[in-house]
Chains A and B, each alone.
Chain A
Amino acid sequence: MEIQIEERESERVLALRGEVNIYHAAQLRDALLAELNAQSEIGLDLEHVSEMDTSAIQIVVALLRTAADQGKLARVVKVGSAAANIIRFCNLQDELGLQLP
């Protein structure tokens, strides 16, 4: 897994790349937590994620929920086929504020 912080048109985005699974769960949580503590708006780009598992899904859900509780905004800005697939399977579109075909 790679995490890149990209500044895109007026938006700061965390882009994840490659396999995001239990082996990277601790790293992912720490990175997201650091971002959450420092920013009030977080965008998450899952377009180039090649694989996601349960641990990754629950961290993403926790990020969105925690941000909402703190009055901040975290959202998934883009999904690729791997991420879309698992989100659709778990029927988490609403939870993640996504509209997937």
Chain B
Amino acid sequence: MDLSKAKDTFLQEARELLQQFETLLLKAESASLDSEDLGALFRTVHTIKGSAGLFGFEAIVSFCHTVENVLAQLRSGTLSLTPELSQLLLLCRDGISRLVDDAEVSETPLVEVPEAERALQDALASVGVHEETPAKPRSIPVATMHADVDDAQRWHIRVKFGADVLRGGVDPIACLRYLSTLGTISGMQTLFPSLPALDELDPETCYIGFDFTLTSSASLAEIDGTFDFAREGSEIEIKSLTPVAVPAAAPAPDNQPEPEARHAEPVARKPGEGKFLKVEAAKLDRLINLVGELVIAGAAANVLSVNRNDNQMQEAISTISTLIEQIRDGALNMRMVPVGEIFQRFPRVVRDVAHELGKDIELRISGEETELDKSMVEKLTDPLMHIVRNALDHGIEPAAERKSSGKPTRGKIELMAYHESGSVVLEVSDDGGGIRRDKVIHKAVERGLIESGAGLTDAQVYHLLFEPGFSTAEAVTNLSGRGVGMDVVKKNIEALRGEIEIESREGQGTTMRLRLPLTLAIIDGFLVQVGPSQFVIPLDMVLECIELVTQESRYRRYIELRGEVLPYIDVRDIFDIHDAALPSYRYIVVVQYGNKRAGLVVDHLLGELQVVIKPLGKLFRGAQGISGSAILGSGEVALILDVPQLVQVACRQEKEEIEHHHERSHTEHACGK
């Protein structure tokens, strides 16, 4: 057996388990842990201990053993989870994590537990011995105490348990009994939809199903979590019967449609559920490369068949193209992971940093099931971490200041992810003090970045924050404000072909929005022709195509489209294609990026196709207006238009033109009459 490979698996598994351990403990801070959670908590450490033993990592085994002892007492109810204990366990998690890191790098495994961990071990051991409190069925942290009966909801639940549930060691009735501890069950109907006659009945197969109403103040996740161990093969449907009422006192938040969706829909599957196969990343990359080649080869075959006028062949090739498209989507999909993978680190960070700063901060996460490319996930963690730390440190004001400005003392940070026309958007918003424009300008002038703040838009001012060495924090804290970082954040995001947007209102908060391309490798494109050259526009960004009335283009650079002004630019102008004859009809391709729209004027529309993005060579990296190249079926090269950049150019031109127009009419006014 290749031991080093097995060790890699151990390390990876241990880290995943530690993450789970942390998630569970943090959950305990806002909601009570049920017996399943406590069981899971115990198992994570138990599993690490077991595998560490196989490799002879004695220090890990010994340390985990102590932690496990305490967890066993928590599970049996002889010990209850106090905030102090929870903090201690979190520190122990870090301890195990350090030992695991050590196991990765050092040649000879540690036998003795190092001093820092030994101290924790002692602290834990003392907890285990002293607090022999009388058995409590479940510990209830203070935070859940005020979950009063008023917010009890009614749920209609239908469950048909899978055939193998009993064999899996789960007793459905016991599951429901547990559920009944979360609230009140009424209208219980026990169903045996497929119960065979006694002589055909397999005693270990599960045939049971239930249909009932649950009245409970527990969250959907908690209710759904009851079925975690019995999910396989089971049909579970949980529907809210309580109409969603917006509390009259609270102003309705406008960008938060999810409570309704969450309650009305049957349970959405949590990310990370189900079975997984671990595949080496390089294998997947090879596969995707091959799929890329397949796309190109397929396009070539298509061109040949069209040229030959062979109908049967065209038909066969179109079937192949459809399949290639599916293979492509499938292959790319394999690289997609839910953004929750990044988000799950944040509860701990926010908690620790908030503690350190002495602030009371609540973290809300939504859209964690939004998927994005795995390679992007790795590169996004640090920038996001930085932004969140910034929000914690500079964004949210100290409690006293919040109070005096009439805000709740508890600050709020929200992490959100969603998809938007071919991009993934990650948002970090806080309800803190916002960015103070005057301060930023003052600092920028001081640093010699700008002459004065006059004539700068808010967006331009905020972007000064990304200049190297910029920091407006009055006190340099341990966490951020050392003036390194935001420029690195920007560089990292731009390396992923992404963008950062800042929105801020003084006194109300700041939102940082990262917009990233959905995939890195293969896209659906829209092929257009200008003069002799062909260009690809990412199809996700194309809204529609309209005909351009040629006469207009000489005088102005915008048209009216259904009552709205649409600025446009001529692709001929961008790339200086002026020698080719101008066709009598030209077209505007309307594209969208973020919330901006613009038109691109082209000669011919050639239709949709799949393209493999090939990065541009070094020589062209600085070229404006193109983001990559693609090989067409005919073997020709087409350039991929950089829509985000072009949209910006078009919008800027439009603005300048309007200003210009204003000036002109002013001067005319002054001179003429």
Contact = CB atoms under 8 A, between A and B. Distances in A.
Interface of A: 21-22, 25-26, 28-29, 32-33, 36, 53-55, 57-59, 61-63, 65-66, 69, 86, 89-92, 95
Contacts of A57: 173, 190, 208
A65 B198 CA distance: 8
A63 B188 contact: no
Contact of B203 (A25, A69, A90, A92): A25
B201 A59 contact: yes
Shortest beta-carbon contacts, A-B, top 9: A25-B203, A90-B190, A66-B198, A91-B188, A66-B197, A29-B203, A26-B203, A53-B171, A62-B198
B208 A58 contact: yes
A89 B188 contact: yes
B205 to A, nearest CB: 9
Interface string B164-200: 0010000111101100100000001110100111110
Contact of A29 (B173, B195, B198, B207): B198
B198 A91 contact: no
Given A25-B204, A29-B198, A66-B199, A58 B192 contact: yes
A55 B204 contact: yes
Nearest to A32: B198
B206 interface: yes
B196 A62 contact: yes
Size class of the contact patch on chain B: 20 to 34
A89 B201 contact: no
Chain A at the B interface: SS class: helix
A30 to B, nearest CB: 8
Nearest to B180: A89
Interface in B192-240: 192, 195-199, 201, 203-204, 206-208, 210
Contacts of B195: 58, 61-62, 65
Nearest to B172: A54
27 contacts: A22-B166, A25-B166, A25-B203, A25-B204, A32-B198, A53-B171, A53-B174, A54-B171, A54-B172, A54-B206, A55-B171, A55-B203, A55-B204, A55-B206, A57-B173, A57-B208, A58-B201, A58-B207, A59-B198, A62-B196, A62-B198, A66-B197, A89-B173, A89-B188, A90-B173, A91-B189, A92-B190
A58 B166 CA distance: 12
A51 B180 CA distance: 18
Chain B at the A interface: SS class: loop
Nearest to A55: B166
Contacts of B174: 53-54
Contacts of B177: 89
Contacts of B192: 58, 61-62
Q: Tell which of A28, A32, A53, A69 has the most Cβ of chain B within 10 Å.
A: A53
Contacts of A54: 166, 171-174, 206, 208
A56 to B, nearest CB: 9
Contacts of A28: 203
Nearest to A88: B188
Contact of B173 (A26, A53, A61, A63): A53
A41 B392 CA distance: 74
Contact of B198 (A22, A25, A36, A92): A36
A8 B196 CA distance: 30
B198 A33 contact: yes
Contacts of A25: 166, 203-204
A59 B173 contact: no
Contact of A90 (B166, B171, B188, B198): B188
Q: Tell which of B176, B196, B207 has the most Cβ of chain A within 10 Å.
A: B207
Contacts of A53: 171, 173-174
A95 B207 CA distance: 15
Contacts of A63: 198
A96 to B, nearest CB: 11
A44 B494 CA distance: 75
Nearest to B198: A66
A29 B166 CA distance: 15
B609 to A, nearest CB: 56
A55 B166 CA distance: 8
A29 to B, nearest CB: 4
B337 to A, nearest CB: 36
Given A22-B166, A55-B203, A89 B176 contact: yes
A33 B173 contact: no
Given A89-B176, A91-B188, A92-B190, A62 B197 contact: yes
Given A54-B174, A89-B177, 19 more contacts: A22-B166, A26-B204, A53-B171, A54-B172, A54-B173, A57-B173, A58-B192, A58-B201, A59-B203, A61-B192, A62-B192, A62-B197, A62-B201, A63-B198, A65-B195, A89-B188, A90-B190, A91-B190, A92-B190
Q: Tell which of A28, A54, A61, A91 has the most Cβ of chain B within 10 Å.
A: A54
Contacts of B172: 54
A59 B198 CA distance: 7
A52 B173 CA distance: 10
A65 B199 CA distance: 12
A59 B174 CA distance: 17
Contacts of A21: 171
Nearest to A25: B203
B199 A22 contact: no
A61 B180 CA distance: 23
Contacts of A86: 173
B197 A22 contact: no
A91 B174 CA distance: 15
Interface in B424-450: none
Nearest to B190: A90
A75 to B, nearest CB: 15
A36 B208 CA distance: 22
A62 B188 CA distance: 19
A90 B211 CA distance: 10
Contacts of A92: 190
A53 B166 CA distance: 10
Nearest to A28: B203
B173 A65 contact: no
A51 B623 CA distance: 77
Contacts of A91: 188-190
A58 B203 CA distance: 9
A60 to B, nearest CB: 10
Contacts of A33: 198-199
Q: Tell which of B173, B195, B208 has the most Cβ of chain A within 10 Å.
A: B173
B626 to A, nearest CB: 64
A57 B204 CA distance: 12
A97 to B, nearest CB: 15
Nearest to A86: B173
Contacts of B166: 22, 25, 54-55
